[in-house]
Structure 1
Amino acid sequence: MLIINRSFFFLHTFLFLLGFSTNTASATVFNLLNNCPYTVWPASLTGNGPPLLTQSNHTLPHGSSLTLNPPAGWSGRFWARTACNFNPKGTGTCSTGDCGGLTCTGGGIPPVSLVEFTLNGANGMDFYDVSLVDGYNVGIGVKPINGGIGNCEYAGCVEDLNGSCPPELRVVDPNRSGAVIACKSACTAFNKPEYCCTENYGTPQTCTPTKYSKLFKNACPTAYSYAYDDATSTCTCTGSDYLITFCPSTL
C-alpha cells in the first residue's frame, strides 16, 4: 500500500503544479485498445471528477477496444489488469493490477504499468506520460490521434520487461510453472529511501537513477523510470484525442 499512496501523492502534486482546471471545455476522447494476446481488464483511477470506467466496461478481449469521454479537466490514470476472476457480484482478484474488485476501490497494486493524464492543464495543454515507477505488468503506450497542436509525442513501453526482469524483481505465477507475470520497481522490492525517493532522497537532486531504473529507462526511453524522471518522460499536446494501447507492437 505504501507505493500506491506515494504514487498518488506524486500524481496530485503533479496536477497542482500544472494548474489544472475543470472550467475549460474539452471534447477529448480516449480510445483503449487491447493488442495483448490475452484478455485484459482495463482500470482507471480518477484524480478529480467522476470515474471513467463502469462495471459493464471492464473486459477487453484481444483486438477489442473501448471509447471513453472524459469530462473537461479530467485527471487520472489507466492500467491493465491480467488473469482476473470475478463472480457475478464483481468480487474477485487479478494476478496483476488488482484494485479491489471488478469496480476498482483504489489504485492498481504494484507492479503495474500506468498511463497518467491531466487534460486542459497549464495553458490549456494536455499532459500525459507512461510510468513504470510502480513497476511493469504489460506494455502500454499513448498516441495522440485526430489532430493536435504541440509536441504531441508518443509515450510508451513496447518492450516486454517481464522477459528481461532481474530475478530479484520478478513476480511469478505459481499456476503457470513459474512464468514471470510482472516486474517490480526497486522501491516495491526493497522499500529503501534511495529507491523510493523518500527521506534524505526526497528531492530531484538527491534521488538519482539507479541500476534498476536505468534498466527500465534503457528498455523504454519515453517512460518514467523513477519518481523524478520528468525531463524525458512528460508529454504535452492540445486539441487531440488519444489512443491508449495495451501491448503495443511498435512506437
Structure 2
Amino acid sequence: MRAPMKKLKIATWNINSVRLRIGLVCRLLKEHNPDVLCLQETKCPQGQFPSSPLKELGYTHIAESGQAGYHGVAIVSRLPLNQIAVRSFCKKQDCRHIAAVIGEREPIIIHNLYVPAGGDEPDRTINEKFGHKLDFVAELEHWFGNGSVPEKHHGIVVGDLNIAPLENDVWSHKQLLKIVSHTPVETTGLTAAQKAGNWVDLIRQHIPPEEKVYTWWSYRAHDWELSNRGRRLDHIWATPDLARRSNGIEILREARGWTQPSDHVPVMATLKF
C-alpha cells in the first residue's frame, strides 16, 4: 500500500514553448523539486512532448493536451496521474485545459488552465479575441459552480488565467484599467468564477493584497527588472480544505532573468498533509 503524502509541492508555469525551453523546465525541477508541474502554452503537437529528460529526473507521469504552434497544456508529475481528462470551452478544441487526480486516500483533482489572452482591444464588438476571453471566463464560472470538483475530492486550479484581478496585481491600477488583463469586466468575471467554486487564492492567502505581486513581465521592456512593470497573471487556487493546509507560496522571479526565458515565472505552493 502506497504511503500517504506528507506534503505536496505544486508548480505552475507558462513556459511559452516547452520544446524551446525544456532546459529551463529541467532546471526548475532540479533546483526546486516540485511534485507536480503544470505547464501552459506548450506550443507542442500532441505526441511530441519532450518527455525523455523529464522522465530521467523522475517525472515519469505526464499528461498532455497539445496542438501545433499554439496553446497547449501539460501536467508533469512524480506521482501517478489518474482520471486524466480535458475540457473544451466555447466549443473550441484549442487545448486550454487538462485535469488529473493525484492521491488515493485523499484524492486531489488538479485543473490546469490557459485562459485566452484576449488580444489588444478591450471591446468585444470589434475584437473577437476579447469576446472569446469573456465567454471563456463566464463558462468557467458556470462550471466551477456545478461540479468541477468531484464529491469527496480536494481541488486545485492552477494556470495562466491571463487576468490580474486586484489593484496591486499590476504595476499601475489606474493606467491599466483600459488594458486587456486588468479591465473591470475581466476582473469582475474572474472574481465571479473564483467565488462560484469557493476557491481560495493561495498567493493572496500568503501575501497581503496591499503588496505588489507580479508573475509576468513583458518582452517589450528594454530592462524588465529595472522598469518592473509586471502583472500577476498566473494563479494557484484551492478548495478551502486544502487552503488550510497551505504553508507557503513561492514566486520564482529570478527565472525571468534566466537565459532565453519565458515572460512568465513559475509559481509554487506547498501543502502539508
Same fold by TM (over 0.5)? no
The structure where helix makes up a greater share of residues is 2
Q: Which has the higher contact order (CA 8 A, sep 6+)?
A: 1
